[in-house]
Amino acid sequence: GLFYKTSETVLNQALMGFVLAGLLFTALLYGVLTRLVSQPVGELSRFVSGLDLSARDLPRVNWENSDETGRLAAAINRMLDTLEAAQDRERKERERLQKSEERFRAFFENMVNGAALHEMIFDASGEPKDYRFLEVNDAFERLTGLRRDVVVGKTILEVHPNLDPFWIRFYGDVVRTGKPAETVREDPVLGRHYEVRAFSPETGQFVALFTDVTERVLQEKQRNLLLTLTDRLNRAHSRDDILDALHGCFREAFGACVAEFYIEGTNMALIRGKDNAAGGSLGALAERIFNARQQHVFEDSLPGGRKGASAAYLCSGLTPKQAFGLGARDLSKWNDWGRNLFLTSCGMAETTLARVLSEERLRRRLELEALSTAASIRYMHGDPEEIREQISAVIEDIGRYCEAERLTLLLGIEPRSGRVSEVFRWASNAGEYAAGHTDKPNLRELPWLFGQLALGEVVLLDGLDSLPLTAVEERSMLKAQGWYSRSVRVIPLMSGPDVGGVLILVGAVSSRGSWLREDIPQLRIIGDLTMMAWQRARNAQALQKRIHMLTAPDFGETEYPLELLFSPDDLQELQDAFARIHGVFSVMLDREGNAFTRPAMASEAAALDPNACVKQLRRLIILEAGRSGGAAKSQFRLSRSLNGLFWLSPINAGDHLLGFWVIGFPESQVDYRVIPDGAAGSDWLAVEVSSESHQQICRLMNLLSDRLSSLAMQNIRQAYLITQVSESEYLQRRLFHSVEQAGEGMLFCDEKGTVLYANTAARRMFNNLFTDIEEEKFHPKLLPDAHVRCPVAPEQWFTERRIVKGELDFAGEDGHRRYVTFSLSPVSTGTGKHYDWMVVCQDISHLKRLEDQLIQSRKMEAIGNLASGVAHDFNNLLQVISGYAEILATELPERSENRSLAQEIAEAAHRATSLTRQLLTFSRQQPMQARPLDINQAVTQLLKMLKRVLGEHIALEFDAGENLPQVMADPSHMDQVLINLCVNARDAMPEGGRLRIKTELVEFRQEYRTTHLETLPRGRYVSISVSDTGMGIPPDVLPRIFEPFFTTKELGCGTGLGLATVYGIVSRHQGAVDVLSTPGQGTTMRIYLPALEEQHPEEAAEAVKKLESELELQLRGKRVLLAEDEASVRGMTSRFLRSAGVHVVDAEDGEKALERFHESPESFDALILDVIMPGRNGRDVYNVVRETRPEIPVIFCTGYSIDMVNQETVSRDRSSRLLHKPYGAADLLRMLADLLNGGTSRT
């Protein structure tokens, strides 16, 4: 573009020079010829006409004469010299331009950057709509793929109809403004990124220089995507988080896409972006990469042959194998850059997945350890009577943690028979367990499974295919349960070398091959703890049952069953060992002859029939019991029917027979003789054995029987002892719990006063001083800032045996003083002179606070009475000042300076009235006088005083809401509310801060509940909020802030009445208070007051004028009796009434008022009486008048808040009103008119 611009300029300059020279030559020639018209010029004319100005060498005129024609010829020759010189310069310039053009053309064509000259096309409104290609270079063709012969002369929309409108606007701005511009942007048509610089060489044209920066942009984009992906992966804590991060990266890079995650051998798939245009399962691609053992797979199509691209990435080093998948619709991005981004992203996700899986394993291990610890604590501290509930709760925790569908716990498995003592079940679908289920399986019926469990092996079953072919019964069981594809984990719980229990977990699907594999060691620990707790509780319950039966008061003295004194398993083991060692038949029978143990038969005694022996022995024992009664003796007996000799050794408990231990020998093996007097029946004969070996066996058996008898007696005595100890412990526990939960503090001290024990109340009462008792004595010096009031000095408290009583106070942990009464009583230890001490303490701090509150209340009452009296006298003065100032202002000309001064006096009196009302409000004696109030104006008037109250260290701001409606409120009460809130905020910012008052209009479209559970009806409210930047209110204090006398300030720094007063005032105005506080950040107190309906100022002014005229018409000609002891007030009130046309009869006290009334009782229309007057007061005058005129209207005037006229009584009397001083003429006249009309207005 620059080349064309430069060459064109030079050529134009040359042509202009040539034309100027020709014109000059013609002008000169014309002038000369004109001057010499009389001379012959034919030859010169012919010469000029024959000149060839384009010739390289121009001829000259040969004229030798020096006349005018000669001078003309010389001029022509000079002109020809000049023209020839100009032509020569032009030729040289053209040659230079031609060389320059060739150089610029070579530069233009060999540029690395693409370049194109365009002409901008505008529409009728001057907006760019298209542009035309004028010239392009070779780089343009190479970078865009568009040939010069195709684009030159055509517009861009002809070449690319779908061109992004941005380019036309971008180039249009360059042409219109003449300012160069640059940008980097993607061309979606070409699929490339270009960095474009454009400038306008002349009006209507622009040159675009561009470079393909696709690689740079893609690298930068990839870097940004990977940085974002890294950040999201660093915050990932699950597979879902990882897949979300990958999907976000892929979506940003490839547009609409689907990202998936698969685990080999499972149907578990996490999918993101399934509903978009590129959706579709990549499961087949994942299965392919699992089988092909490839690291990654790329495909140029989507599943089902749809247009797009897909890929899968196999995570290495993980078992089972896991893979990520990607499906994208936009093939333009599926180049080397896109594939590299996919591999890099998946590599990062693979690293994160390894971390997440490691964290998950650690988390599961920690959670299982926590479950194990919780189970251990539950079993350790739990009641054995509740062991089943505890076990059921534990297995439910395990089932939910393992996400199992079912969980079964088998306990008390008999190693030989495979029988189960107790079963616990839990199912996720019902969310509950079944304990002690009647369906107790026999594991011997599952031989392959029982064999594996007996070896201590954990059995992992994942459907029928995981079972060996020999496990026929197990296959049938899985089919019967419907667990064809279920994942079952069977964990043995070992009790010594045998299986004592089994924990069975059933998962949702069998495909989760690694399900619970890493959790099994910890699950075995929990199972072992459970089994041991169950066994311990079972033994404890059995022992308790035996002790209870042995010590029951209704249990017979001779009825001590063997099962209550011995464990059948222990006696069975002893009996079996004896029979095996000595080669005899052996059995233990109870006192009624029933078998207590299973008969044991050695091979040497195989000739005896065990069942027949037990049956015949029972008959023998019944016969012997009938003969002897009581305890039995050892004896030999011969049974003819059994062909055997039997030695019966009794087991006794003192004089009580418990049972027999019987051993037997085949008759053929024993030398004996029959004793005639020992026969117990026709089948049994008493015999005497002569063989020494058999006698030794019998003596040994007698020793063992005697030992069992001693153990039985010992067990009985121990049962009684345990019962007594248990009862004692039970009483001690009850006593301990009673003392520990007592409301009074109790401390137990030794004889020197060292605290041995302190109950909960005492520890809490004394600032946790005695929580960890380390030789601490009960002494006031241990307490912070303690003061004692006791007749005995603390050093003498524990020196004599006497009761010591006193009171002490000290600084509590909460910052408040704590008051405690105490009593020290000596307690005998039963060891002679030694004795301990019992200290009983009672916290009386609340009583002290109530006492202080009572004193403070009485002080407030006294101050209130004083304030009320001062306000009364002050109101009388203000009544005179304001009244006469009002009269003066009305009688002076409207524009008079003195009238404005009188109005200022009246305004000052009104402000003084506000002060007296605040004083009365402080003394709680000011009734509410609500009127329409502008809140913004009220706050503005109070700001000056608030700044003085707050101090310079607090910045005060006021954010006034616009167009706020008025509220019906008492101005003095609102002032007090704001002052109290601001003072509280100031105290919360001792180091200074910012206090902000804000007003606004809010509207609740439904009932609104405040933070203190107040309910406001829906409607419009004016909100006044006071916000500070102080320390905030602690959450435990927040619910109590509106309680009277509650304060967190130091003693003497607060009464606890400020916020209580605010709450009361706002509630009386039908409003509510909201409190928003954050400890350490500040507090906002927000007050809501009902908004009044808006009234325009013009309407209000018109209403006032109308009211004044109506009042004058209503009162004119009325006759009123006025009684007022203050002359100035009486005169002022008379002028108010007379100005409205009222005839006034006045009196200076009550007696004179009655005289005036009795002179003409029927002539008065109303009474105006001061309440407090010498002699008879206003109420007395009214009572007398009512005897004659019971319905006469009366207005009571008072400077007090509550006087001898009860306000509630006045409010119920329709013919009386109460008017507070100072009052204005309008207030008095309006009230009088309302009374005379019998109205119901109470203003």
Identity at 197, one-letter amino acid code: R
Q: What pLDDT is stored for residue 37 in this prediction? A: 43
Same domain assignment for residues 1027 and 952:
yes
Which residue among 843, 874, 902 closes a domain? 843
**pLDDT value, residue 732:** 81
Claim to verify: residue 860 and residue 997 sit in the same structural domain: yes
**Facing residues of 590 across strands?**
659
**339-353, 356-370, 718-732: segment of lowest average pLDDT:** 718-732
The Cα angle at residue 1075 between residues 1074 and 1080, in degrees rounded to 5: 160
Beta strands in 107-187 (DSSP E): 114-122, 128-136, 181-187
pLDDT of residue 611 exceeding 80: yes
Q: Taking a C-beta distance cutoff of 8 angstroms, is the pair 617, 589 a contact? A: yes
Q: How confident is the model at residue 607 (pLDDT cuts 50, 70, 90)?
A: confident
Instruction: State whether 590 and 681 are in the same domain.
Output: yes
Cβ atoms within 10 Å of 1146's Cβ, excluding its own: 19
> For the residues of 1182-1195, what is the DSSP string, one character each?
HHHHHHH-TT--EE
299-305 mean pLDDT: 78
Residue 646 has pLDDT above 80, yes or no: yes
Residue 120 pLDDT greater than 90, yes or no? yes
Domain CATH code at residue 1086? 3.30.565.10
The conformation of residue 122, written as its DSSP 8-state character, comes to: E
Residue 155 φ then ψ, to 5°: -90, 165
Residue 749 domain flag: yes
What is the Cα–Cα distance from 510 to 489, expressed in whole angstroms?
10
At 805-853, the pLDDT tens digits run: 999 999 887 777 889 999 999 988 766 677 889 999 999 988 888 887 7
Lowest-confidence region among 172-181, 427-436, 763-772, 1131-1140: 427-436
The predicted pLDDT at position 275 comes to 47
436-448 pLDDT, tens digit each: 344 677 888 888 9
Do 186 and 92 lie in one domain? The reply is: no
CA separation for the pair 1121, 706 (Å, rounded)? 123
| CATH label of the domain that carries residue 1205 | 3.40.50.2300
Q: Which DSSP string corresponds to 785-832?
A: T-EEE-SS-GGGTTTSSS-EEEEEEEE-TTSSEEEEEEEEEEEE-SST
Structural contact between residues 744 and 840, judged by C-beta atoms closer than 8 angstroms: yes
Domain with 1177, as residue range(s), is 1107-1236
Same domain (yes/no): 893, 1026: yes
CB atoms within 10 A of CB 241: 15
Residues 839 and 888 in one domain: no
**Does 399 lie in the same domain as 345?**
no
> Are 882 and 990 members of one domain?
yes
Which of residues 690, 722, 754 is at a domain's end? 722
The pair of structure tokens assigned to 24 is 């000059």
Domain membership of residue 1098 (yes or no) is no
Q: Helices 1058-1068 and 971-987 meet at what angle, rounded to 10?
A: 150
Q: Where are the alpha helices (DSSP H) in 407-471?
A: 447-454
Mean pLDDT of 901-926: 66
Q: Per-residue b/e over 1211-1233, b at no fewer than 16 CB within 10 Å?
A: eeeebbbbbbbbbbbeebbbbbb
* Tokens describing residue 1123: 């009684």
Identify whether 1101 is part of a domain.
no
Name the domain boundary from 75, 106, 137.
106
- Is 1243 contained in some domain? no
**Pair 696, 788 in one domain:** no
Q: State the pLDDT at residue 278.
A: 43
Q: What are phi and psi of 518, to 5 degrees?
A: -80, -15
pLDDT at residue number 752: 86
Indicate if the pLDDT at residue 748 is higher than 50.
yes
Cβ distance 858 to 849 under 8 Å?
Answer: no
Where is average pLDDT lowest: 13-27, 391-405, 553-567, 1133-1147?
A: 13-27
- Do residue 1085 and residue 968 come from a single domain? yes
Q: Is 739 exposed, middle or buried (0-12, 13-18, 19+ CB in 10 A)?
A: middle
**Do both 1067 and 1120 map to the same domain?**
no
What is the spatial distance between Cα 6 and Cα 9, in angstroms, rounded to a whole number? 5
User: For residue 72, what are its two tokens?
Assistant: 């003309």
pTM of the model: 0.41
> Confidence class of residue 1035 from pLDDT cuts 50, 70 and 90?
confident
- Residue 206 is predicted with a pLDDT of 92
The structural domain count of the chain equals 8
Residue 40 has pLDDT above 90, yes or no: no
CATH label of the domain that carries residue 224: 3.30.450.40
In a domain, 735, yes or no: no
Check pLDDT > 70 for residue 872: no
Q: How far apart are CA 487 and CA 503, in angstroms?
A: 14
The domain spanning residue 588 has which CATH number? Answer: 3.30.450.30
Quick check: 27 pLDDT over 50?
Answer: no
Q: Note the pLDDT of residue 279.
A: 43
- Tell me which range, 120-129, 653-662, 679-688, is most confidently predicted by mean pLDDT: 120-129
As a whole number, mean pLDDT of residues 90-106 equals: 69
1152-1193 pLDDT, tens digit per residue, is: 999 999 998 889 999 999 888 888 888 889 989 988 888 899
H helices of 666-691, in order, are none
CATH number, domain with residue 831: 3.30.450.20
Is 116's pLDDT higher than 60?
yes
When pLDDT is averaged across residues 688-707 and rounded to a whole number, the result is 89
pLDDT in tens, 1079-1124: 888 999 999 999 987 655 555 556 555 666 677 778 888 999 999 9
Task: Work out the mean pLDDT of the chain and round it to a whole number.
Answer: 80
- Given a contact cutoff of 8 angstroms between Cβ atoms, the answer to whether 165 and 159 are in contact is no
Give a yes or no: residue 1135 inside a domain.
Answer: yes
Buried b vs exposed e over 1061-1082: b needs ≥16 C-beta within 10 Å? bbbbbbeebbbbbbbebeeeeb
Residue 941 has pLDDT above 50, yes or no: yes
Residues 154 and 175 in one domain: yes
Taking 90 as the threshold, does the pLDDT of residue 1021 lie above it? yes
Picking from 44-48, 54-58, 1104-1108, which range would have the lowest pLDDT averaged per residue? 1104-1108
Q: What is the dihedral of CA 123, 127, 133, 135, to 10 degrees?
A: 120
Nearest to 345 by CA among 313, 369, 372: 313
pLDDT of res. 94: 76
Q: Which helix (H) or strand (E) holds 326?
A: strand 322-328
Q: Stretch 35-49: mean pLDDT, rounded?
A: 57
What pLDDT is recorded for position 823?
93
In a domain, 734, yes or no: no
Instruction: Tell me how far apart the alpha carbons of residues 120 and 123 are, in angstroms, rounded to a whole number.
Output: 10
Does residue 557 lie within any of the structural domains?
A: no
